[in-house]
Each structure stands twice: as structure tokens, then as C-alpha cells.
A and B are shown apart, each in its own frame.
Chain A
Amino acid sequence: MGKVLMKGNEAIGEAAIRAGCLNYFAYPITPQSEVAEYLSRRLPEMGGVFLQGESEVAVSYMIFGAAAAGERVFTTSSSPGISLMSEAISYMAGAQCPAVIVNIMRGGPGLGGILPSQADYLQATKGIGHGDCRLLVLAPASVQEAVEMVMMAFPLAEKYRNPVMILGDGLIGQMMEPVEFPDHLRTTPSNKNDWAVNGMQTRKSDRRNLIRSLYLDPGQLNENNLILKAKYDRMKKEEVRCEAYNTDGDYRVLIVSYGTMSRVCRTAIDQLKEIGVEVGMIRPQTVFPFPEEAVEEAAGKKSCRAVASIEMSMGQMVEDVERAVKGKRPVKWYGKCGGDVPTPEEVMAFVKSLAD
């Protein structure tokens, strides 16, 4: 199959199907409702399950149920909806159930706005739910990358028996781009008979399975949480993904930027090059785990004077960048957080002020 022109939200829905996930539960919210609209037609065609729940709270528990039964399942939502799902996400992490959750971010706090944003960075990477829970968080910068990340997310969720989040800004969901669905990313769901509550008959076993997150004994809870920690530590070792741009030469400023914002930064970097200002960029593709080593190494280059965290939020990524840079260079923030995407000119003006 060649390339087709698709809207991000529809491509995300199709990517899940291509990844072998035929179960989807959702609640409408701008700017990602097209995923549900698309799948409400497409999934019945495929013999899959489409259900519009009564709230994001209910939807998040529907995916918990489906995941507990051992089936591939996913949902999509946007910022306020993700807040409502955070309870179930914590339960799923505690109970070690895999699922894929897509957050097409809009502005906040509160009802915020419906335009693109990256303001759920801290929520996704550090505070997705109560207790010691973490998610693997993938951040696409194009519709094509969103497709690939959705397809990768299912086996990753199964590998870690943990929810995986796709963190895309509103533009990723709303823009149309040519995409293809890579065959090599099609996977078969893993065998979950050793833990899923899918009926003893299904797995031809006399041993019943139990899925829970309650451990009243403090020793047992500690033990469970150490198992979770070991998984999060393994993610930090095995799942860090990032892309370097223009980092071969001697750049004066290093940009750290992800998602749609990083594409604007690329344009700014190209234009600055034309006037003789070299700027490099590290683009995190996973924001948890954060590409600390890549950022530290790139910031440590002799020519580099400053590091800029450029994002569509009020500097939520700055502390991760600072932690990676370890005080070796000043870290500055630039961005907007009302729904306007900074223009290449605005990024250029800011970066140039750091370079001079």
C-alpha cells in the first residue's frame, strides 16, 4: 500500500487497526473526536468493538476491563478527558494491565481552549495518576510518526504490562499529511494466559487468575511497587528514543523541542543557517523516559553557549532539560501556551538572542 492523505486523528484510528487492535472505547472531546467518528464506521466493518461510553471515567474503566481480559484495546482523548482517566490509569499501572491511551493535547488549565498545546507534559511524564505509577510516553512530530508510534505502542504496552501514552499536540490530530502504514510494524498480540482474567476455560487451566492493585500488607505493596519500579528503570534503559538535527557542526545554541513545535524549530534552524547562525536540536521522541544522555552530550559541545527548551507550554519540560544539562549551560524557555504555535521567525529571534 502506498501513501494516502489522511487527517491525523483518522490515521491514528487506522494505525491501531493495522497494529491488530480491534477494541476501542471513547468519549467525544475536541480536538480528537474524529478518531471516534472514524472508528465508529471502520471497526464494525472489521468485526471489532466500538463503544462510546458515558464519560471519560467510564471509558477508562472499560479499557481496563478489556485489557484485563487480555485483549488489545485503546482509547483517545484530550487534556481534560485525560485528567478524568488518570484514576483508571493508576489502577491499570498498579494492576499491570497493558493498553494504549492517546492524548491529543489542548490548552489548559481547566477548560482552557481547544487549540494545540503541549501543556500536559508534566501530567504525562511525572503525575499521570496517584501512587508510584509511570507511563511510557511517545511524542510524535508528524502524522506519519503518530501512525508508527501507535503501531509500536501495543507491543510496548504488552512488553511492560503497563499503559503506554501517545502524547500529541492538537495539530498532530487535526492536520492532514500523506501517510503509509508500515507492514513491519504489524504485530500479533502476545499470549496473556498467564495473567489475564479471560476464564479458566480459555486457557485450559485449573488455576484462576486474579487482577488487583490492593495490597493491604505493607510488605506486599512494597514488593509490588518494586516490580513496577524495575519496569520503569528498564524503560529508561531500553526505550529512550530521540532524534538529533544539525548537531554535527559547531552550533552556538541547542534547542530541545518535541512534537509539532520541533518542526517549527527545524524551519528556524534552517533559516538561521542561511544567515550563518548554527543551531542544533535534540527532539525527544519519548518524553518518559527522557533522552537525558543525548541532551547532556549535545549541550556539552564546546561551541554551545545555551540550551533552549521550546514548547507549547509554560516551560514544563525545562526541569527535565536542566536535569540533563546538569548546570553546564544556562537553560532558557521559549514558547506560547494559549493555542498559537510560535512562528519560525519568533523562534529565530529568541534563539538568536541566545547566540549573540
Chain B
Amino acid sequence: MGKTFQKPLALSDQVTHYCPGCTHGVIHRLVAEVIDELAIRDRTVGIAPVGCAVLMYNYFTFDFLEAAHGRAPAQATGIKRVRPDLVVFTYQGDGDLASIGMGEIVHAANRGEKITVIFVNNAVYGMTGGQMAPTTMPMQRTTTSPFGRRVEEVGMPIKMAELLAALQTPAYIARQTVIKPKFINKAKKSIKKAFEYQLAGKCFSFVEVVSTCPTNWGLTPVEAVRWAEETMLPYYQLGELKTPQ
């Protein structure tokens, strides 16, 4: 009997710097498995964000470009427009994509750039130490909302998948999670579809992944999963929001 399970070729041997209970590692693995299954490692360029995943290029074995905060979709646009034969994806957090990078993501989606965006939403700025993000839940405490997010002052959390799905340009827009094993296969399916739409030259593709940040939420990994399930999932509902015709 041969090998039935192994580390994806697209992943390197490096130990990650992520905290216990963080879901970046799982999402990295799903992206790597999809890249292996589609056999596109040799022509893929990843764009690493500013945020906790800034060093993600250390964990993958193909070309990477480092982004400035929020600008990854513009950089991906530049690469894809001049080299349409390459597979280009960005991997961005919620402070990056939904705050400073709102302009770049909306316009890249609206132009229908043939790129894939993996959007990791953990309702907080992780790398800078747990500040409030546009996706922070109402009354959620962060280091810059010590009394909880007051929606009357800063508004409701932004639902990025819904916002992008409202654009008239055809796109693949989905929201999944990896907080429990039962969700992981669905998340992988969406990520694979997203890359397949790009390979077919069909449309912009975007997968939001609801994630945990036990460190900045001040919870244990187990509590963090429960909090995400009880607080985030009712608001950030899972599923495919838009598929191209």
C-alpha cells in the first residue's frame, strides 16, 4: 500500500509562528492542497499581506510577493494583467482587506480581475496586538474598544462577502469557516472552486474564512471556537453568496 496522506508539495517544512488555536495553519494547508490538486504550483504567485500572515511566504514553496497594508488586490491586478497565464491569489486579514484596503478590494472585484482572494476574518487586528477591526462584533472588547464595540459610534461590522456580492460584475463569492472539522471540507471546496474559476478565466473569486484569534480575544482555543460559533457565525452566515452564470 502506498502513501495515502502527506504534506502538500506547496507547503514548506518551516514551523509556523502562529499562536495555538489560530486557524491560519489550517487555511494555509487547504490552499496548499488545492494548489497541489490543480497542479499549478509552478505558475502560481501568492501575495502575502500585512498582518499575522505577513511571513506566510516562508511556509509555501512557490513565488511570493509581499504586499503593503491593504494593497494586495492592486498588486495582484498588476501581475495578472501583464501575465494572465499566471495564477495569482491574495491572502488577507480583515484589518487589511476591510479597512485600509477597502478601495482596492472593491475595485478589483468590480473590474472582475481574474484573481483569487482568501479573506481571513477573525474580527480583530491580530499582528498589531488586538485592536478593533471593521469586522469586530458589537460589544466585542479589543485593545482600542476596551468597553466593547459601540455600534452607535463606529457602526456595525462590515459583511465583506455580502458587500462584494452586491456588485453587478459576475464573481464567485463565498463565506466558509474552519473552526470545526465539519466545516473544513466545505471551506476547501470553496477555495478549490475559487481557483478553478480563475483557471477558467471566468471571474473574480473571493472566499471569506471565519477564523479564531484566541490570543487577542483573551480566550482559550476551545473557548475561542465556541465564541466564534455562537457570536460570529449567526452574523457572518456561511455559504455561497454568488456564483457566476
Cβ of A58 and Cβ of B43 under 8 Å apart? no
Cβ of B78 and Cβ of A61 under 8 Å apart? yes
Cβ of A62 and Cβ of B44 under 8 Å apart? no
Cβ of B68 and Cβ of A69 under 8 Å apart? no
B212 contacts the other chain (CB 8 A): no
Cβ of A65 and Cβ of B62 under 8 Å apart? no
Identify the closest chain B residue to A52 (Cβ): B111
Residues of B within 8 A of A61 (CB): 67-68, 71, 74-75, 78, 104
Cβ of A23 and Cβ of B107 under 8 Å apart? no
Within 8 A of B (CB), among A53-93: 53-55, 57-69, 71, 73, 87-88, 91
B52 to chain A, nearest CB (A): 13
B104 to chain A, nearest CB (A): 5
Contact residues on B (Cβ < 8 Å of other chain), bracket: 20 to 34
Identify the closest chain A residue to B54 (Cβ): A214
Residues of B within 8 A of A197 (CB): 45, 63-65, 79
Cβ of B57 and Cβ of A23 under 8 Å apart? no
Residues of B within 8 A of A208 (CB): 60-64
B41 contacts the other chain (CB 8 A): yes
Question: How far, in whole Å, are A53 and B82 apart by their CA atoms in the complex?
Answer: 14
A40 to chain B, nearest CB (A): 14
B241 contacts the other chain (CB 8 A): no
Residues of A within 8 A of B107 (CB): 53-54, 58
Identify the closest chain B residue to A95 (Cβ): B66
B222 to chain A, nearest CB (A): 31
A227 contacts the other chain (CB 8 A): no
Residues of B within 8 A of A51 (CB): 77, 81
B83 contacts the other chain (CB 8 A): yes
Residues of A within 8 A of B43 (CB): 199-202
**Given A91-B68, A200-B63, A212 and B57 touching (CB < 8 A)?**
yes
Cβ of A55 and Cβ of B103 under 8 Å apart? yes
Cβ of A63 and Cβ of B42 under 8 Å apart? no
A49 contacts the other chain (CB 8 A): yes
Residues of A within 8 A of B44 (CB): 199
B76 contacts the other chain (CB 8 A): yes
Number of A-B contacts (CB under 8 A): 127
Identify the closest chain B residue to A59 (Cβ): B74
Contact of B79 among A66, A200, A209, A214 (CB under 8 A): A66
A210 contacts the other chain (CB 8 A): yes
Question: How far, in whole Å, are A200 and B61 apart by their CA atoms in the complex?
Answer: 10
Residues of A within 8 A of B67 (CB): 61
Residues of A contacting B: mostly: mixed
Identify the closest chain B residue to A213 (Cβ): B66
Cβ of B68 and Cβ of A210 under 8 Å apart? no
A251 to chain B, nearest CB (A): 49
Cβ of B78 and Cβ of A62 under 8 Å apart? yes
Residues of B within 8 A of A49 (CB): 81-82
Residues of A within 8 A of B104 (CB): 54, 57-58, 61
Residues of B within 8 A of A62 (CB): 74-75, 77-78, 81
Residues of A within 8 A of B71 (CB): 57-58, 61, 64, 88
Cβ of B64 and Cβ of A211 under 8 Å apart? yes
Question: How far, in whole Å, are A200 and B81 apart by their CA atoms in the complex?
Answer: 18
Question: How far, in whole Å, are A211 and B54 apart by their CA atoms in the complex?
Answer: 12
Mask of B71-111 contacts with A, CB within 8 angstroms, 1/0:
10011111111110110000000000000000110010000
A198 contacts the other chain (CB 8 A): yes
Identify the closest chain B residue to A50 (Cβ): B81
**Given A68-B65, A211-B64, A57 and B103 touching (CB < 8 A)?**
yes
Cβ of A69 and Cβ of B78 under 8 Å apart? yes
Question: How far, in whole Å, are A340 and B54 apart by their CA atoms in the complex?
Answer: 48
Residues of B within 8 A of A64 (CB): 71, 74-75, 78
Residues of A within 8 A of B48 (CB): 212
A181 contacts the other chain (CB 8 A): no
Identify the closest chain B residue to A58 (Cβ): B74
Residues of A within 8 A of B79 (CB): 65-66, 68-69, 197
A121 contacts the other chain (CB 8 A): no
Cβ of A63 and Cβ of B86 under 8 Å apart? no
Residues of A within 8 A of B60 (CB): 208
B87 to chain A, nearest CB (A): 8
Cβ of B66 and Cβ of A214 under 8 Å apart? yes
A163 to chain B, nearest CB (A): 14
Residues of A within 8 A of B64 (CB): 197, 208, 210-212
Identify the closest chain A residue to B64 (Cβ): A210
- Contact surface of A with B, Cβ cutoff 8 Å: 23, 25, 49, 51, 53-55, 57-69, 71, 73, 87-88, 91, 95, 197-202, 208-214
Q: Would you mind naming 5 contact pairs between A and B with Cβ atoms under 8 Å apart?
A: A53-B74, A58-B74, A73-B78, A87-B68, A199-B45
Given contacts A25-B81, A199-B85, 18 further A-B contacts (CB under 8 A): A54-B103, A57-B71, A60-B74, A61-B74, A62-B78, A62-B81, A65-B47, A66-B78, A69-B83, A71-B82, A71-B83, A199-B43, A199-B62, A200-B43, A208-B61, A209-B63, A211-B66, A214-B54
What 7 A-B pairs are tightest by C-beta distance, nearest first?
A: A65-B78, A61-B74, A65-B75, A212-B66, A201-B42, A62-B78, A197-B63
- Contact surface of B with A, Cβ cutoff 8 Å: 41-45, 47-48, 54, 57, 60-68, 71, 74-83, 85-86, 103-104, 107
